[in-house]
């Protein structure tokens, strides 16, 4: 028998068709891990920004569009994930257990971050010899009264709170909705399923939006480097060094070493690999709030944290988990004291530590939000409002780059605490967590 080869037409259903160039290009693009694409975009954007200079602002709209897409998801995601997470607990006592552990952990890590900031700033002394010549004083608003801040957590209009982006009020209302579903029992099963389905839909949308992250990050970094530039950064080089060293210590030692390794009994390497997407977005947007949708996604998909824990811990952390901001405020306080020649006693250090730990939890999760609470801490050690305005005026032109650095420990704080709480509550898939290292 002679073998005969028959050439089938390209349209034959059984014939393998070579994909077009565009399809192959897209397949290659999506085959690269998202965090690698974001990192490449970040480095490329920095280079383009330095080369392009002020003209980099021409692509600012791309970065703004990306940030708007992320912010668009925050409030509906917070409400749906928290309400569905609480409803899924089925037992109100579990909610109390998770809440107490979460708050205790945030106070603990914030205090350690403040201590780190004080230690690094004391050793490096960034304010020694600092000159405020040319600094334009910038007044900052007085921090909100603490009692009023807690009062406004209870919204008089939940829909209005959602429209105004009042995250704490939305969290409070979502917890009540979830608790109501638990109390209603089987009759509320349709609502429970609706909330769970809504949360899943929002996470899918987050996945869609995250595919635009490399382009948004590229534009955001290019604009920052083009308008600020590395040369102007020399003016605050010692302070920047403090922020960089402090952020590394808080992220790697406190969050990775203490929280993940010692308290959650897990290896830290899979943790950092699993949250790379959230770190990149936090760094480029300088906003814990904007990073929240990504943080919830990586916690559930990469770290194995159950939806009830992720949806309870992370939205709360995006509002009060400000380890990077706490560290920075402590550093700025010592920077101001050193620059103005204020001698600090041991008692003053304890005052700074206590005040900063408290006010840091009220920092708005937006770029440069920590500067708005600086006045309260500086006032505690005798720095006048006029001097505070000079310090803010000196730092503000360079604060965006510093803010990008210190947002990273804000993000890792939230995710490390969510990991630890999930581990303690047995609400974690450890095998899925460990697989984050197998990419």
Domain boundaries, the chain: 58-437
| Cβ neighbours, 10 Å, residue 153 | 16
Look at the alpha carbons of 175, 180, 185, 187 in this order and tell me if their dihedral is positive or negative: negative
Angle, vertex CA 407, rays to CA 41 and CA 206, nearest 5: 60
| CATH 3.40.1480.10 is held by the domain 58-437 | no
Report the Cα 30 to chain-centroid distance in Å: 24
The whole-number pLDDT of residue 4 equals 45
Average pLDDT of adjacent 10-residue blocks, the chain of 439 residues: 48 57 77 80 86 87 85 82 75 72 89 94 82 55 60 86 81 85 86 87 83 85 77 70 94 95 94 91 82 89 89 80 88 87 85 81 60 72 77 74 87 94 90 71
Two tokens, residue 413:
């704080």
Q: Residue 175 has what pLDDT?
A: 82
Burial of 282 (0-12, 13-18, 19+ CB in 10 A): buried
Rounded Cα distance, 227 and 49, in Å: 8
Report the 10 Å Cβ neighbour count for 347.
8
Q: Angle 369-125-366 (CA atoms, 0-180°, nearest 5)? A: 10
SS3 at position 32: coil
Maximum distance among all Cα pairs of the chain, rounded to whole angstroms = 101
Q: What is the pLDDT of residue 287?
A: 78
> φ, ψ for residue 16 (rounded to 5)?
-65, 130
C-alpha of 104 from chain center: 19
- Residue 73: Cβ-neighbour burial (10 angstroms; 0-12, 13-18, 19+): buried
For residues 199 and 205, give the distance between their C-alpha atoms in angstroms, rounded to a whole number.
10
**Cα 325 versus chain centre, distance:** 11
Closest to 73 in 3D by CA, of 172, 165, 148: 165
Find the angle CA(190)-CA(157)-CA(68) to the nearest 5 degrees. 80
Task: Indicate the pTM of the whole model.
Answer: 0.73
């Amino acid at each position: 028998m002679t073998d005969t080869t028959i050439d089938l037409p390209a349209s034959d259903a059984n014939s393998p068709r070579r994909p077009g160039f565009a399809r192959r290009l897209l397949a290659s693009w999506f085959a690269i891990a998202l965090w690698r694409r974001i990192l490449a975009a970040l480095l490329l954007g920095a280079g383009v920004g330095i080369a392009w200079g002020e003209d980099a602002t021409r692509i600012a709209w791309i970065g703004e569009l990306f940030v708007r897409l992320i912010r668009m998801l925050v409030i509906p995601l917070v409400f749906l994930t928290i309400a569905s997470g609480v409803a899924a607990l089925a037992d109100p006592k579990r909610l109390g257990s998770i809440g107490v552990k979460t708050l205790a952990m945030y106070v603990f890590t914030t205090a350690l971050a403040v201590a780190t900031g004080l230690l690094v700033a004391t050793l490096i002394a960034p304010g020694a010899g600092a000159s405020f010549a040319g600094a334009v004083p910038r007044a900052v608003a007085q921090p909100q009264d603490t009692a009023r801040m807690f009062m406004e957590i209870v919204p008089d209009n939940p829909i209005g709170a959602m429209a105004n982006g009042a995250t704490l009020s939305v969290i409070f209302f979502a917890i009540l909705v979830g608790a109501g579903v638990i109390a209603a029992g089987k009759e509320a099963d349709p609502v429970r399923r609706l909330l769970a389905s809504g949360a899943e839909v929002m996470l899918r949308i987050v996945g869609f939006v995250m595919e635009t992250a490399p382009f948004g990050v590229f534009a955001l970094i290019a604009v920052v480097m083009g308008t600020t530039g590395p040369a102007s950064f020399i003016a605050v080089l010692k302070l920047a060094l403090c922020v960089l060293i402090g952020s590394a210590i808080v992220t790697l030692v406190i969050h990775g070493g203490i929280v993940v390794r010692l308290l959650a009994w897990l290896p830290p390497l899979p943790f950092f690999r699993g949250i790379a997407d959230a770190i990149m977005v936090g760094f480029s947007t300088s906003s814990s709030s904007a990073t929240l949708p990504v943080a919830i996604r990586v916690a559930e998909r990469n770290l194995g944290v159950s939806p009830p824990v992720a949806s309870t811990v992370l939205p709360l952390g995006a509002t009060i988990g400000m380890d990077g901001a706490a560290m920075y405020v402590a550093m700025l306080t010592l920077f101001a004291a050193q620059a103005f020649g204020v001698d600090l006693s041991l008692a003053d250090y304890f005052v700074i530590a206590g005040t900063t730990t408290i006010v840091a939890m009220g920092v708005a999760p937006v770029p440069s939000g920590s500067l708005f609470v600086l006045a309260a801490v500086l006032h505690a050690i005798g720095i006048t409002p006029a001097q505070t305005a000079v310090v803010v005026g000196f730092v503000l032109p360079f604060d965006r780059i510093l803010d990008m650095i210190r947002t990273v420990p804000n993000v890792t704080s939230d995710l490390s605490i969510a990991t630890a709480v999930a581990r303690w509550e047995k609400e974690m898939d450890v095998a899925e967590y460990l697989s984050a290292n197998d990419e």
